[in-house]
Amino acid sequence: MSLTVGDRLNKAEEAVQARVKRHNSLTSGHRACQGCGEALAARCALDAAYNATGGKIVVVNATGCLEVFTTPYPDNAWGVPWLHSLFGNAPAVATGAAAAFAARGDHEMRVIAQGGDGGTTDIGMGCLSGMFERNDDVLYICYNNEAYMNTGVQRSSSTPALSRTATTFPIKQYMGNDPMSGKCVPKIAMAHGIPYVATATIGDIRDFERKVVKAIHMRGARYIEVYSPCPLGWGSQPCDTVRLARLVVRCGLYPLFEAENGKISSVTKIENLIPVEDYLRPQKRFAHLFGKNADPEHIKVIQKIADANIEEYNLTGGC
């Protein structure tokens, strides 16, 4: 008995990712780095959606790593109809696709838009908000790796407190990314009152797939943000990608929840709470918090963020 992705003792309940006949919406030969969380997350999401709809999905992709490593001409790694337009317009392009299929009378087709955190929370925010407020029939999936990785690890509005990036510097009195900065796009999505918002990680594929399947069967604007570690940008070991995705949840820094029509409808409780330090330590982007000259107060700043999440979402308490 285990919490693994597959289960030979209970084949019927296996995650789509564990099955022999998974679609492989993103196939081999793509050029993602070793241990890429985003490549893994994208395949999980689209395979789950593909499986749930009998293959009736089309995908719109914002510019970014995911687009670049999957479609350098002539090597297309996708196994689903896929369109890339620009960095900041994926939600709008998806809106157009959804409108087109509706106009064609194809009401079974589901449109998925996807992008990284830069394309979603920063440059794509206007189009995303428009797509949300019109309640366009699009499932938007944000693969959150917490910085602009494709351009070389610059800060985004999703970069966590005190993280080092190519544009946030732990130098002199600066601690890395300003802990007072950043935004919570799932909450912004909720504020639009859209039918479904969820956070997920690749550390729990069953949960992620469940949320994708739930979302894909709904109509209107849906938003899923999936935490997808980036070994290159974070200075973590490629083999630790999934482990970090588990640790971030267990320390409280990444609350897993679902919200329907603007209200939180479920929260994943933390079973074995760990200090943020256990999550931060394996990542070089936080190395300045642990060096010889590190100020222990800095880790406390991050712990406070986790503690606030734990309190806000009641992550450790009863239902």
Partner 1 sequence: MLHQIEGAQAIAHAVAMCRPKVVCAYPITPQTHIVEKLGEMVHAGEVENCAFINVESEMAALSVAIGSQASGVRSYTATSSQGLLYMMEAVYNASGMQLPIVMTLGNRTIGAPLNIWNDHSDAMSARDAGWLMLFAETNQEALDLHIQAFKIAETVGCPVMVCVDGFILTHAYEGVDLPTQDAVDEFLPPYNPDVRLDISNPCAMGMMVSPEYFTEVKYLAHLRQQNALKIIDQTAKQFAQKFGRESGGLVRYYGDPNADTVIVAMGSVIGTVKDVIDELNAAGGKFAILTIVSYRPLPVEEIRAALSNAKRVIVLEKAFALGRGGVLAQEVELALMPFSGEFLSVIAGIGGRPITRTLLRQFFTQETYPEKTTFLGLNHKVVDIMSRME
Partner 2 sequence: MPKPYATVQDARTSLQNKTGTWRTMRPEYVHRMPPCNLMCPAGENIQLWLAHAQEGKLREAWEVMVDANPFPAIMGRVCYHTCELACNRTHFDGAVNINRLERSIGDVALNKGWSFPVPTRSTGKKVLVIGGGPSGLSAAYFLRRFGHSVTIYEANHKLGGAMRYGIPRYRLSTAVLDAEIDRLLALGIEVECDKRVSDVAQELQNFDAVYLAMGASLAVQINIPTDEGATVIDAIEMFRCLENDKDKMPALGKTVIVYGGGNSAIDAARTARRLGADKVQIVYRRAMEHMRAHDSEIKEALAEGVEILCLRTIGHIHKGSVSINKMELQNNELVNTGQVETLQADSVIYAIGQQPDEKVVLSISDILIGEGSTIIVDKNMMTGAKGIFAGGDIVPGKRTVTDAIGMGKKAARCIDAFLNGKEIPAKPSPDIATFKKLQLDYYPKSPRIDVEPKVNLTFEEANLSYDDPKVILEARRCFSCGNCYHCNNCYAYCPDNAIIQHEDGSLEFNYEYCKGCGLCAVECPCGAIKMVPDDQQ
| Interface contacts to partner 1, rule CB under 8 A | 55-58, 60-61, 67-68, 70-74, 76, 78-86, 88-89, 92-105, 109, 126-127, 129-130, 133-134
x-or-dash string of contact with partner 2, 200-239, rule CB under 8 A? --x--x-------------------------x-----xxx
- Return the number of the residue (214 or 243) whose C-beta is nearest partner 2: 243
Residue 136: CB partners within 8 Å, gap ≥ 6? 91, 94, 95, 98, 99, 220, 221
> How many residues bind partner 2, per CB under 8 A?
52
Residue of 148, 153, 154, 163 whose CA lies nearest to 302: 163
- Tokens coding 276: 């943020």
Given the structure tokens 């239902």, which residue do they identify? 319
Closer residue to partner 1 in complex, CB, 56/246: 56
Which one of partner 2, partner 1, none interacts with residue 100, CB within 5 to 8 A by kind?
partner 1
283: contact with partner 2 by CB under 8 A: no
Q: At its nearest, how many Å lie between partner 1 and the CB of residue 77?
A: 8
Considering only CA atoms, which of 26, 297, 239 is closest in space to residue 143? 26
Q: How far apart are CA 248 and CA 6, in angstroms?
A: 22
Tell me, what amino acid is at 305?
I
Nearest-approach distance from CB 30 to partner 2, in angstroms: 5
Contacts with 268 (C-beta within 8 Å, 6 or more apart), sequence order:
204, 207, 249, 255, 256, 257, 315
Q: Which does 57 bind (CB under 5 to 8 A by kind): partner 1, partner 2, none?
A: partner 1
Binding mask 245-274 toward partner 2 (x if CB under 8 A, else -) reads -x----------------------------
Q: Cα dihedral sign for 147, 149, 150, 152?
A: positive
The Cα 29–Cα 111 span in angstroms is: 25
Q: Which residues here bind partner 2, judged by CB under 8 A?
A: 1-9, 14-15, 17-20, 24, 26-32, 34-37, 39-40, 43-44, 70-71, 73-80, 202, 205, 231, 237-243, 246
